[in-house]
């Protein structure tokens, strides 16, 4: 059961990507829905809005406890900002990933787009969509799995996989597969099922 934080942002696309990979999903909007998850997705969106809604819904602390419990987490864009140890401009975060991010570090909407990634673990030619993306200016002791023009854009540390881009917007994206392959279980059997149109 993969939980997808569903307060704001592109949670629906993430849930669809996880279902396409063969996993059951649960949209997370209240603390009770955090029980019994096997993995968690923190989607992209607007991190400042997510922080406000997490606080209003009484989710900030319970979500933190789940994140600290060590279950596998896929955090993309705003989701990665929520986990970063250092956020610029300064903003509340869980500090579970030793990265330093600059919000909107590639410029605003005008500079959003699809870019080719450099990576030893993703297939050659893999591209990714960046939307008002955070720039990871320091990846600390995270493993850097992909770069864009030399900057780290996909990092892993323990159970956390964090991307500055949006794998869920491309069907069967290698980063989605990288995450789901590590989950195994019932979903693992079907994870090579063809993507829906």
Active site residues: 77, 166, 168
| Cα 182 to the center of its chain, rounded Å | 15
Asked if 53 and 8 touch (Cβ cutoff 8 Å), the reply is: yes
Among 2, 26, 42, 47, binds ligand GLN (CB under 6 A): 47
Query: Minimum CB separation from ligand GLN for residue 160, in Å?
Result: 16
Query: 188 CB contacts (<8 Å, ≥6 apart)?
Result: 22, 180, 181
Among 7, 78, 139, 175, binds ligand GLN (CB under 6 A): 78
Pick out residues in 58-77 that bind ligand GLN (CB under 6 A). 77
Instruction: Please tell me the count of residues contacting ligand GLN according to CB under 6 A.
Output: 11
Query: Minimum CB separation from ligand GLN for residue 193, in Å?
Result: 27
Query: Minimum CB separation from ligand GLN for residue 44, in Å?
Result: 3
Query: Minimum CB separation from ligand GLN for residue 9, in Å?
Result: 6
Between residues 160 and 187, which has the closer beta carbon with respect to ligand GLN?
A: 160
Residue 44 binds ligand GLN, judged by CB under 6 A? yes
6-38: b (≥16 Cβ within 10 Å) or e = bbbbbbebbbbbbebbbbebbebeebebbeebb
126: DSSP letter:
-
Asked if 83 and 73 touch (Cβ cutoff 8 Å), the reply is: yes
Q: Which residues bind ligand GLN (CB under 6 A)?
A: 44-47, 77-78, 81, 103-104, 131-132
């Amino acid at each position: 059961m993969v939980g997808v934080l569903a307060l704001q942002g592109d949670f629906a696309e993430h849930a669809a990507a996880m279902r396409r990979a063969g996993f059951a999903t649960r949209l997370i909007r209240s603390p009770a829905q955090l029980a019994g998850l096997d993995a968690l997705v923190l989607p992209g969106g607007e991190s400042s809005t997510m922080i406000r809604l997490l606080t209003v819904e009484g989710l900030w602390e319970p979500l933190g406890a789940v994140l600290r419990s060590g279950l596998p987490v896929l955090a993309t864009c705003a989701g990665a900002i929520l986990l970063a140890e250092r956020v610029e401009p300064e903003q509340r975060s869980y500090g579970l990933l030793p990265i330093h991010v600059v919000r909107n570090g590639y410029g605003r909407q005008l500079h959003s787009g699809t870019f080719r990634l450099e990576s030893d673990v993703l297939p050659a030619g893999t591209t990714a969509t960046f939307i008002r993306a955070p720039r990871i200016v320091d990846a600390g002791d995270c493993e850097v799995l992909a770069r864009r023009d030399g900057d780290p854009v996909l990092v892993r540390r323990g159970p956390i996989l964090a991307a500055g881009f949006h794998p869920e917007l491309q069907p069967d994206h290698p980063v989605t597969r990288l995450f789901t392959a590590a989950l195994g279980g019932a979903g693992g059997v079907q994870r090579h099922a063809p993507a829906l149109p």
